[in-house]
Amino acid sequence: MEKNYPNNNEVGARLDIHHRRNQILSLLAIGVGFVLLYFAQKYLSSYQVRILNNCGLFITLAVSYNLINGVTGQFSLEPNAFVAIGAYTSALLTLTPAEKALSFIIEPIIWPLSVIQTPFLVSLLAAGVVTAICGFCMGFAVFRVRGDYLAIVTLGFGEVVRVIANNTQTITNGPLGLKGLENYTTVWWTWGLAIITIFYVSRLVRSSYGMAMKAVKYDEAAAEAVGINAFRHKMLAFTSSAFFEGIGGGLLAHLITTISPTLFTFFLTFNLLIIIVVGGLGSTTGAIIAAILVTWGGEFLRFVEEPINIFFIHIPAIPGMRMVIFSLLLVLMMIFARHGIMGTREFNWNWVVDKVNGLKILSRNRG
């Protein structure tokens, strides 16, 4: 009996329908997300909104960091440096000349920073561009080495940026930092940037450039042998990551309204490294899920450091217990999910639709 196989036109038409359906579902999901954010900002407490802002910020930082560390496979430890550059750039541009004169009490700020003031959006774009330029220039040096040596060089760059911020009184105000920043950052800014970052990174990873980045990750020598310019693709990932981390730094500065060099230590990079490993190296979906779990989970576990009464037993507060439990959870995660929550997989609407159709068929058969 002759079988009828679909021709190329039919396959192309089906793929086109699926693509349009997925686009509509994505837009609907974004719309629902914005509605939820509206109600969250209106009805949740300031503390809960602060957690939402932190989740949005860490999604941006984790997804952009995952591009260089997970997708391209370059063991880089630079995020604290890029976040610091973006934070100081945005903060210096939004402060008024009068506020700068009051803040810089040891030495006056240099010209032209002493007279420049820009709108918040302009300062964020400037933070991204300045950080991207720094990342581009830094890439020529750091990508001369690989593996552990790359990690050491980028770690050193983060410390260099922190030391410079601590000693350049006329630019960063040294250890005194910058205070009195306007609280411009809202859930619309943090989650809006998160959506833009996810869209850009997802499109980049699925493009020919993304395929080349993955080839560099798995075997750089083989990738170069088939004509892939490994250096150029690593620079693209590194510069893109720096751009979004710089903007994230600007939002962070205007969320906490006070910045100093002590804020941008290696601990920030370490947190982001935990997030992308827990989520699954190379998975954008995993980075999103892990960023929410780690940020929200860290706040949720605060109750373990408070006094607890169980029947007639009083358990006093134990400082540091939150980090002990958090560390144990991470150990268990690495034991039972060695490749992270998602591994290298990504969220796909086709999978959701197939599951829904399967449930419909199952319910029909039972009926």
Residue 291: exposed, middle, or buried by beta-carbon count in 10 A (0-12, 13-18, 19+)? Answer: buried
Largest CA distance in the chain: 90
Full residue range of the structural domain in which residue 73 is found:
44-278
Question: Could you report the per-residue pLDDT of 30-68, keeping only the tens digit for each?
Answer: 899 889 998 988 888 888 899 999 999 999 999 999 999
State residue 111's pLDDT score: 87
Residue with token string 């770690």: 155
Residue 1, pLDDT above cutoff 50? no
Say which DSSP state 229 is in. -
- pLDDT mean over 340-353: 82
- Could you give the number of structural domains in the chain? 1
315 assigned to some structural domain: no
Q: How far is residue 139's CA from residue 164's CA, in Å, rounded to a whole number?
A: 19
Residue 363 lies in a domain: no
- Quick check: is 201 in a domain? yes
The counts of H helices and E strands in the chain are: 15, 2
Who's near 205: CB < 8 A, 6+ residues apart?
67, 71, 213, 214, 284
CB 287 within 8 A of CB 70: yes
Tell whether 9 is covered by a domain: no
CA angle centred on 21, ends 19 and 24, rounded to 5°: 110
Query: DSSP letter string over 74-136?
Result: -----HHHHHHHHHHHHHHHHS-HHHHHHH--SSPPPTTTTT----HHHHHHHHHHHHHHHHH
| Of 261, 76, 47, 56, the residue nearest 152 (C-alpha) | 76
Q: Is residue 249 part of a domain?
A: yes
**Higher pLDDT among residues 169 and 304, named by residue:** 169
For the chain, give the percent of residues with pLDDT over 70. Answer: 92
Encode pLDDT of 145-154 as tens digits.
Answer: 888 889 999 9
Per DSSP, the residues of 235-284 read HHHHHHHHHHHHHHHHHHHHHHS-B-GGGSSHHHHHHHHHHHHHH-TT-H
With a cut of 70, say whether residue 317 has pLDDT above it.
no
Whether 340 maps to a domain, the answer reads: no
CA end-to-end distance (rounded Å), the chain: 34
Span 305-316, pLDDT tens digits: 677 676 667 667
Q: Is residue 188 part of a domain?
A: yes
Say which DSSP state 178 is in: B
Check: pTM over 0.85? Answer yes or no: yes
User: pLDDT tens digit string along 6-22?
Assistant: 556 666 667 777 778 88
Mean pLDDT of 289-295: 91
Radius of gyration of the chain (CA): 23
**Which residue(s) pair with 310 in the sheet?**
313
